[in-house]
């Protein structure tokens, strides 16, 4: 009888062991090591000084934030803050914090950590680009600790979309001797080999648990290899040495999809856009008659109508791009003006617009009303193959109207110097890598006084009525906390941009990524970081875990 | 002339002839975009397929060869003439002139020429046609590529300055430019020829390097540099072997040049 009981106990033990060893993610606390590449050296591990993609990735994986924009739904979700409330005037935000949370080094998390972080973030001596987003007007930002788990932050002027800005603020400890090494996120930096790799390990004190009550993250560690060469990155991915590629080009994507379609993910149009614009700066060293062309709405609209965006999407991006509508990608669900459509390819309409401005054809070449041949150069950055191909296609499209376009590729520093300091260019083609859903992130582009108002920056007063109207609308949307009113204002901005074409939007590239079949729980999206936005819930399958 | 050199000579001449006949051999032209067939494999219509925007690759290889093969010798001529002027004259004059010229040449050689080329290229006016841009690119290469040849020529001219026949000419009352042009320069000819032929592949590769950086010949004009740039990111050679055509052509032409150079004049 005893033997029988012992045998049954042994059997039950083996069964339990078998279940544990063969179970999936429900038991997958030992999630193994995820591996992917950073394309450059991280410039800093200080979460408040982050300004580059690699440091951003590390901040996302290690930093704990009060609220988080869900990269899939685009909705704001509570994190370290249980709840929050923005005041009617948009100047103050009050957070109710979770209790019983510790930093990775065991230091307790309280409201004074939030106060410390905000004071450091807003210190002008720190020169934090994250902090710049919070600078609403002259005057100091003040914090008030209402209780150990409650804090309010007051700004000198209203900040539209205030709560969403906290998605970028990783809370630092006010008391920990480890400073930025003490983190509240799912992982912590364990090892950094300059020029080689960054190793992140699971934060043992991470506060979040899954629906089964198991502490997150599932993974043991993440190894980030520093690898700027995309060919090498793809080869390593194909060999199974890497688990993710966050962003890949359409060429690589198609090659991967041809052999392993289950690994290639196209999440649809991203927030990024490629566009071109004409130099309208009054003091630019370009002939006066060309400035007159570039300042003509008819001319800009004609150019826009003569570009075949469908061809650009299909030929340059192998169909992994959509003709761009305007400054907001359709991927930005809330802020996109759905009444607008991408400019269709209409060369005949373009010719009519040019004729209305006095342009005429002569022996196949286009001349303006003063008899000047229509010829201009498009500068773009050397080395960006898709952009160079787009420029060549635009060159051919405009050639059909009799316009001679010279494509000039320049190294990036020379290009930036020309378009932002010397204004010694005629037209430029660049891209906008948008990480912010809120239009406030584009204030530096749309205000006529802004430095990044590319076609005619730093105007003392708006030089055109439509720019004055954009200024008014952008300020109006920034000064109210009412999302509906903000949307109305920004919708109108998008309409004016479509009517005036200061930027000629070309395409929105799709968010393309690669995820190894070894990774479980991945759901690539369009917002950065596309593949590891839910890193705390990613696991590796049993065979991948066993091999590492 | 041995068999290998004869073969190399035939290859170079054949490549030149075929590239000059590009208008007849590839009537589609190098710029026309067949957008319905981008990155197409070889076919009867497109012998080497099409590039990423649908341009006929065969036509681009022919026109690119024409540009690189015609303009590289022109650039080599400019650089060799400069080298003869600076190096040859300094070697002939000797003394302080030779030391100054060698110092200047060493300084020029120590400059990071690729960055120099990029900087000079960025300073050029933007509204230059592709044809002018290609001329400017090779002119810059010629103007910046004289230093190494000048060093060789200054040493050779220095040796000639103290040779018996020059001393005899001097003793006969011959001085100045006449002595240089009548006695020194003709004896530098073998070195000049060698430097000229050596410079051609160097400039072809330099333009290819600039092309790879996207700073060479302007679109839509092709050159070997821009054609080689298309190989960037190519993962499987087996699947798209035809894309290697410009690389193979470059290797064949460069090897032919090297074979042609392996004569007494170079080793002299």
Buried b / exposed e along A378-396 (16+ C-beta atoms within 10 A)? bbbbbbbbbbbbbbbbbbb
Is the separation of the CB atoms in B134 and B217 below 8 Å? yes
User: Does residue A319 sit at the B interface (CB-CB below 8 Å)?
Assistant: no
Query: Residue A1: pLDDT above 80?
Result: no
Q: What confidence score (pLDDT) does residue A22 get?
A: 45
Neighbours of A497 (CB within 10 A): 21
Q: What confidence score (pLDDT) does residue B219 get?
A: 85
- For the stretch A435-457, pLDDT in tens is 778 898 888 899 999 888 999 99
Between B93 and A293, name the one with better pLDDT: A293
Q: What confidence score (pLDDT) does residue A209 get?
A: 94
Q: What is the value of pTM for the model shown?
A: 0.80
Query: Residue B136: pLDDT above 90?
Result: no
Q: What confidence score (pLDDT) does residue A7 get?
A: 59
User: Does residue B22 sit at the A interface (CB-CB below 8 Å)?
Assistant: no
| ipTM surpasses 0.85 | no
Between A341 and A3, name the one with better pLDDT: A341
Q: Worst-scoring range by mean pLDDT, A125-139, A454-468, A505-519, B116-130?
A: B116-130
- Band the pLDDT of B214: cuts 50, 70, 90: low
Chain A residue whose CA is closest to B210? A382
CA angle B61, B62, B68 (to 5 degrees): 85
Residues 410-449 in A contacting B (C-alpha not used; CB under 8 Å): 410-411, 414, 424-426
Between A267 and B69, name the one with better pLDDT: A267
Report residue A77 CA to chain centroid gap.
18
Q: What average pLDDT does chain B have? A: 85
Query: Residue A217: pLDDT above 90?
Result: yes
DSSP B259: H
- For the stretch A18-40, pLDDT in tens is 544 444 444 445 679 999 999 99
Residues in chain A: 548
Query: Residue A175: pLDDT above 90?
Result: yes
Query: Residue A2: pLDDT above 60?
Result: no
- For the stretch A308-355, pLDDT in tens is 999 999 999 999 999 999 999 999 989 999 999 999 999 999 999 999
Residue range B246-250: average pLDDT?
A: 89
Q: What confidence score (pLDDT) does residue A15 get?
A: 55
User: Does residue A450 sit at the B interface (CB-CB below 8 Å)?
Assistant: no
Contact B127 A395 (CB under 8 A): no
User: Does residue A375 sit at the B interface (CB-CB below 8 Å)?
Assistant: yes
- Band the pLDDT of B7: cuts 50, 70, 90: very high
Residue range A525-542: average pLDDT?
A: 93
Query: Residue A5: pLDDT above 80?
Result: no
- For the stretch B190-199, pLDDT in tens is 889 888 888 8
- For the stretch B13-34, pLDDT in tens is 999 999 999 989 988 899 999 9
Q: Worst-scoring range by mean pLDDT, A144-158, A337-351, B155-169, B217-231?
A: B217-231
Residues of A in contact with B235 (CB under 8 A): 231, 234-235, 255
Contact B214 A392 (CB under 8 A): no
Q: What confidence score (pLDDT) does residue A63 get?
A: 97
Query: Residue B124: pLDDT above 90?
Result: no
Q: What average pLDDT does chain A have? A: 91
User: Does residue A315 sit at the B interface (CB-CB below 8 Å)?
Assistant: yes
**Omega cis (within 30) before B220:** yes
Q: What are phi and psi of A507, to 5 degrees?
A: -145, 155
Q: What confidence score (pLDDT) does residue A21 get?
A: 46
**Distance in angstroms (rounded) separating the CA atoms of residues A199 and A23:** 27
Buried b / exposed e along A239-268 (16+ C-beta atoms within 10 A)? eeebbbbbbbbbbbbbbbbeeeeebbbebe
């Amino acid at each position: 009888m005893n033997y029988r009981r012992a045998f049954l106990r042994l059997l039950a033990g083996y069964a339990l062991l078998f279940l544990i060893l063969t179970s999936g993610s429900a038991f997958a606390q030992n999630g193994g090591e995820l591996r992917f590449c950073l394309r450059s050296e991280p410039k800093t591990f200080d979460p408040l000084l982050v300004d580059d993609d690699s440091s951003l990735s590390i901040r996302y994986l290690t930093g704990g934030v009060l609220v988080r924009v869900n990269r899939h739904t685009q909705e704001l979700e509570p994190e370290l803050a249980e709840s929050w409330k923005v005041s009617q005037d948009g100047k103050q935000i009050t957070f109710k914090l979770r209790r019983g949370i510790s930093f990775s080094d065991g230091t307790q998390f309280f409201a004074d950590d939030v106060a410390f972080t905000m004071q450091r973030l807003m210190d002008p001596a720190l020169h934090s680009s994250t902090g710049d987003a919070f600078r609403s007007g002259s005057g100091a930002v003040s914090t008030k600790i209402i209780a150990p788990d409650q804090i309010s932050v007051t700004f000198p002027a209203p900040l539209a979309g205030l709560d969403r800005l906290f998605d970028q603020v990783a809370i630092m400890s006010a008391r920990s001797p480890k400073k930025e090494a003490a983190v509240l996120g799912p992982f912590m930096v364990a090892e950094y080999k300059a020029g080689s790799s960054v190793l992140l390990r699971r934060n043992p004190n991470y506060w979040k648990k899954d629906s089964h009550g198991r502490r997150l993250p599932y993974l043991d560690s993440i190894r980030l290899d520093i690898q700027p060469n995309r060919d090498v990155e793809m080869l390593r991915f194909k060999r199974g040495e890497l688990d993710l590629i966050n962003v890949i080009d359409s060429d690589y994507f198609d090659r991967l999809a041809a052999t392993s379609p289950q690994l290639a993910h196209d999440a649809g149009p991203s927030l990024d856009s490629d566009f071109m614009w004409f130099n309208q700066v009054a003091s630019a060293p370009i002939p006066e008659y060309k400035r007159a062309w570039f300042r003509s709405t008819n001319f800009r609209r004609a150019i826009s109508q003569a570009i075949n965006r469908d061809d650009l999407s299909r030929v340059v991006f192998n169909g992994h791009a959509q003709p761009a509508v305007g400054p907001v990608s359709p991927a930005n669900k809330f802020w996109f003006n759905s009444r607008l459509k991408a400019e269709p390819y209409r060369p005949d309409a373009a010719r009519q617009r040019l004729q209305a401005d006095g342009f005429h054809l002569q022996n196949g070449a286009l001349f303006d009303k003063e008899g000047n041949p229509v010829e201009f150069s498009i500068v773009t950055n050397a080395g960006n193959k898709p952009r160079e191909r787009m420029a060549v296609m635009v060159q051919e499209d405009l050639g059909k109207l009799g316009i001679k376009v010279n494509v000039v590729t320049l190294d990036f520093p020379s290009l930036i110097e020309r378009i932002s300091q010397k204004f010694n260019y005629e037209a430029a083609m660049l891209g906008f890598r948008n990480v912010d859903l809120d239009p406030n992130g584009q204030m530096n582009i749309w205000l006529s006084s802004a430095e990044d108002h590319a076609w005619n920056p730093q105007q003392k007063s708006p030089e055109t009525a439509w720019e004055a109207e954009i200024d008014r609308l952008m300020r109006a949307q920034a000064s109210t906390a009412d999302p509906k009113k903000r949307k109305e204002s920004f919708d109108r901005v998008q309409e004016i941009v479509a009517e005036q074409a200061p930027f000629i939007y070309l395409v929105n590239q799709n968010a393309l990524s690669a995820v190894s079949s070894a990774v479980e729980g991945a759901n690539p999206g369009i917002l950065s970081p596309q593949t590891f936005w839910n890193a705390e819930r990613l696991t590796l399958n049993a065979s991948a875990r066993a091999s590492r | 002339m041995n068999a290998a050199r004869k073969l190399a000579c035939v290859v170079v001449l054949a490549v030149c002839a075929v590239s000059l006949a590009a208008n007849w051999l590839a009537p589609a032209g190098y710029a026309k975009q067949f957008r319905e067939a981008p990155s197409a494999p070889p076919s009867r219509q497109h012998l080497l397929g099409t590039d990423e925007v649908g341009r006929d690759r065969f036509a681009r290889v022919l026109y690119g060869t024409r540009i690189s093969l015609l303009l590289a010798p022109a650039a080599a001529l400019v650089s060799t003439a400069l080298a003869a002027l600076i190096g040859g004259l300094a070697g002939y004059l000797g003394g302080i002139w030779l030391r100054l010229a060698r110092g200047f040449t060493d300084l020029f050689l120590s400059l990071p020429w690729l960055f120099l080329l990029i900087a000079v290229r960025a300073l050029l006016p933007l509204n230059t046609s592709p044809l002018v841009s290609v001329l400017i690119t090779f002119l810059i290469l010629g103007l910046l590529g004289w230093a190494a040849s000048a060093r060789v020529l200054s040493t050779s001219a220095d040796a000639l300055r103290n040779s018996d026949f020059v001393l005899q000419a001097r003793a006969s009352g011959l001085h100045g430019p006449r002595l240089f042009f009548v006695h020194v320069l003709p004896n530098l000819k073998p070195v000049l020829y060698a430097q000229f032929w050596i410079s051609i592949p160097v400039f072809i590769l330099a333009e290819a390097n600039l092309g790879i950086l996207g700073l060479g010949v302007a679109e839509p004009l092709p050159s070997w540099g821009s054609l080689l740039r298309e190989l960037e990111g190519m993962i499987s050679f087996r699947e798209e072997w035809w894309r290697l055509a410009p690389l193979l052509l470059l290797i064949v032409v460069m090897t032919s040049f090297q074979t042609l150079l392996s004569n007494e004049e170079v080793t002299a």
